[in-house]
């Protein structure tokens, strides 16, 4: 008949997805590993005996398998989604679905709806959001993940003899990142994305304010940032350090010594760095130890200033517990409901993510606008203590609601005996998202 089953379509779309992101998720020279060993054409030939499907799709599938990959994120963002051979494959799927042998569907969206199939935001971005509209509502295209991100590089210690703590700082599994051990010690935080919010959990807080200063590279020198520091120089486990994003921030891979020395000769990456430096001479008896560092990346937008689908995006909101039954909720970025399916309950992707340890139960009330733009609230079941940094809790929505367009900060609330703590509202963990590949 030529009708493409949900299973085969999603497997092919996922293989196309892996091809598109190969240069991003797999460093060279191993970028082809696991991405071309079983290409689209071989999968189609092995798993679908329908000659009509093979006739409609094999040529474009072979084109995908033979397409040259790109070497780095910058090249990928500027060029990879425009590759004609990759678009041609989805065009062939579209034509097949609308053909008499393929089911005579009115559109690709009608086919996806009928078989309950979806594509990753990467594939949707590449093919174009207009192909995934049912009227004006996006259908069949996942929303990008919206979450915090680990730093690409973290160095700690004394300038000139820094320790690479990238792996330890990316995981909250152990209290293994000693910081600010001596006056003038630094924490060097690097990311591919610009960021204006640094998140951390402290297993040991400093006995006194470390009096931290922070710097960024303005293209000519290390310039100072004005911080809003909820950790009070790492003497409180306040979880959040923010500043106004500099307009002249450029990537740089050297330290603050004069003359500058390369931070790590093995990784001369184009990263945006913030250097945090202790300026207090005496911090005794305890200097701080962190379990992890995270950050809120700046949103990556398309030419229409909408969220770009091919990369993870910032979380939806930050929540700080500031006293008993008292929270401050800061909206970060709303989902892109005009371009993607809104994050929702179908994939259990809506979550709370603990940034710091929280010592008491938290019963959180989520204020939001639903998939149709209607205001709603939903009190969650108790998030039971002890809550550790990195823990998550799946969010539920009001009866009949399937997704979130935005967080309504004014109607969020919490019942808790805790007086401090930080958590985020995220959309994370799609079964078929980039991170799961």
Q: For every one of its 437 residues, what pLDDT tens digit does the chain have, with 9 covering 90 and above?
A: 568 889 889 888 888 887 777 644 444 444 444 444 456 777 777 777 777 777 788 777 766 765 544 433 444 554 667 778 888 999 999 999 999 989 999 999 999 999 989 898 988 888 888 899 888 889 999 999 999 999 999 999 999 899 999 999 999 999 999 999 999 999 999 998 899 999 999 999 999 999 999 999 999 999 999 999 999 999 999 999 999 999 999 989 899 998 888 887 776 677 899 999 999 999 999 999 999 999 999 998 888 899 988 788 999 999 999 999 999 999 999 999 999 999 988 767 999 999 999 999 999 999 999 999 999 999 999 999 999 999 999 999 999 999 999 999 999 999 999 999 999 999 987 665 444 43
Domain residue extents for the chain: 6-138, 149-296, 302-436
Output the pLDDT for position 31.
Answer: 42
Q: Does domain 149-296 have CATH number 2.60.120?
A: yes
pLDDT of residue 14: 87
Tell me phi and psi for residue 401, to 5 degrees. Answer: -85, 140
146's CB contacts (< 8 A; 6+ apart) are 312, 313, 314, 315, 316, 333, 335, 343, 426, 427, 428
Q: Is 281 exposed, middle or buried (0-12, 13-18, 19+ CB in 10 A)?
A: exposed
| Residue 337: per-residue pLDDT | 95
pTM of the model: 0.85
Q: Strand 404-407 vs strand 362-370: parallel, antiparallel, or unpaired?
A: antiparallel
Q: In angstroms, rounded to a whole number, what is the distance separating the alpha carbons of residues 420 and 428?
A: 24
pLDDT score of 197: 98
């Amino acid at each position: 008949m030529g009708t493409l089953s949900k299973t085969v379509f999603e497997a092919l779309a996922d293989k196309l997805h892996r091809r598109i992101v190969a240069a991003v998720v797999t460093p060279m020279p191993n970028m082809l590993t696991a991405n071309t060993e079983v290409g689209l054409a071989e999968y189609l030939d092995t798993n679908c005996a329908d000659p009509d499907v093979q006739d409609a799709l094999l040529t474009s599938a072979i084109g995908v398998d033979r397409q040259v990959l790109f070497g780095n994120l910058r090249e990928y963002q500027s060029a990879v989604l425009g590759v004609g051979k990759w678009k041609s494959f989805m065009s062939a799927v579209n034509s097949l679905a609308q053909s008499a042998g393929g089911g005579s569907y009115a559109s690709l969206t009608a086919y996806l709806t009928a078989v309950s199939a979806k594509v990753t935001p990467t594939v949707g971005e590449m093919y174009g959001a207009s192909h995934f509209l049912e009227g004006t509502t996006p259908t069949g295209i996942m929303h990008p993940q919206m979450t915090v991100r680990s730093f690409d590089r973290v160095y700690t210690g004394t300038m000139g003899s820094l320790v690479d703590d990238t792996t330890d700082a990316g995981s909250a599994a152990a209290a293994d990142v000693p910081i600010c051990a001596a006056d003038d010690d630094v924490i060097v935080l690097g990311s591919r994305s610009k960021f204006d919010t640094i998140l951390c959990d402290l297993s040991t807080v400093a006995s006194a304010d470390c009096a931290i200063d922070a710097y960024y590279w303005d293209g000519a020198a290390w310039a100072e940032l004005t911080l809003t520091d909820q950790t009070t120089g790492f003497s409180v486990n306040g979880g959040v350090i923010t500043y106004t994003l500099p307009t002249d921030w450029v990537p740089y891979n050297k330290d603050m010594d004069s003359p500058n020395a390369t931070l790590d000769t093995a990784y001369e990456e184009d990263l945006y760095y913030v250097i945090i430096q202790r300026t207090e001479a005496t911090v005794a008896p305890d200097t701080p130890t962190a379990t992890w560092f995270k950050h809120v990346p700046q949103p990556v937008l398309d030419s229409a200033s909408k969220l770009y689908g091919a990369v993870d995006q910032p979380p939806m909101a930050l929540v700080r517990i500031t006293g008993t039954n008292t929270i401050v909720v800061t909206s970060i970025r709303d989902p892109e409901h005009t371009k993607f399916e809104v994050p929702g309950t179908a994939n259990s992707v809506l979550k709370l993510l603990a940034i710091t340890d929280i010592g008491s139960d938290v019963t959180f009330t989520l204020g939001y606008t639903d998939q149709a733009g209607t205001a709603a609230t939903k009190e969650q079941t108790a998030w039971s203590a002890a809550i550790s940094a990195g823990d998550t809790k799946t969010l539920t929505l009001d009866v009949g609601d399937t997704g979130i367009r935005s967080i309504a900060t004014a109607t969020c609330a919490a019942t808790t005996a805790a007086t401090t703590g930080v958590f985020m509202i995220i959309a994370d963990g799609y079964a078929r998202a980039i991170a799961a590949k």
